[in-house]
């Protein structure tokens, strides 16, 4: 990305990435959170939301933290996710990404958050 330096905000919530059957309805608990993202395909219904909203019995990956790319971002911009993902991958930090109309969100496991912040700052990204 060749524009102004990227700025990321660390969101305060701990998130979960949940997998439900593709024939299930969107559960009410998913819609109660301040942050949620829902994707449905013929194979699955995936829900990312605040961990505190998810019942224990739901199949999910818990303990994710989220970086929000300060936006809004123009659709013509390129390389935004790559500029975040590359330094994290080089430091063996896995990500889960979500894009919305205005911006991108990059999730890292909670136990890698501090290292991820250090890596991103070192790569020239401002982390708020």
| pLDDT score for 122 | 97
Query: What would the two tokens of residue 86 be?
Result: 């590359």
pLDDT score, position 18: 98
Domain boundaries defined on the chain:
7-127
pTM: 0.91
E strand intervals along the chain: 7-10, 15-21, 36-40, 44-50, 60-69, 96-99, 104-109, 126-127
pLDDT in tens, 1-56: 455 779 999 999 999 999 999 999 999 999 998 899 999 999 999 999 999 999 99
Considering the segment(s) 7-127 as one domain, its CATH architecture is 2-Layer Sandwich (3.30)
Query: How many residues belong to the chain?
Result: 128
pLDDT in tens, 63-121: 999 999 988 787 777 789 999 999 999 999 999 999 999 899 999 999 999 999 999 99
Determine the Cα–Cα distance for residues 111 and 126; give it in Å rounded to an integer. 20
- Residue 55 and residue 31 in contact, taking contact as beta carbons nearer than 8 Å: no
């Amino acid at each position: 990305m060749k524009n102004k330096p990227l700025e990321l905000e660390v969101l305060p919530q701990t998130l979960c990435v949940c997998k439900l059957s593709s024939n299930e309805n969107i559960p009410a608990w998913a819609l109660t959170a301040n942050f949620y993202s829902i994707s449905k395909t013929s194979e699955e219904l995936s829900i990312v939301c605040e961990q505190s909203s998810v019942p224990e019995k739901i199949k999910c990956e818990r303990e994710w933290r989220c970086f929000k790319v300060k936006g809004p971002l123009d659709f013509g911009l390129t390389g935004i996710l790559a500029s975040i993902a590359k330094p994290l991958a080089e430091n063996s930090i896995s990500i889960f990404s979500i894009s919305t109309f205005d911006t991108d969100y990059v999730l890292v496991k909670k136990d890698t958050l501090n290292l991820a912040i250090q890596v991103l700052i070192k790569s020239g990204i401002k982390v708020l």
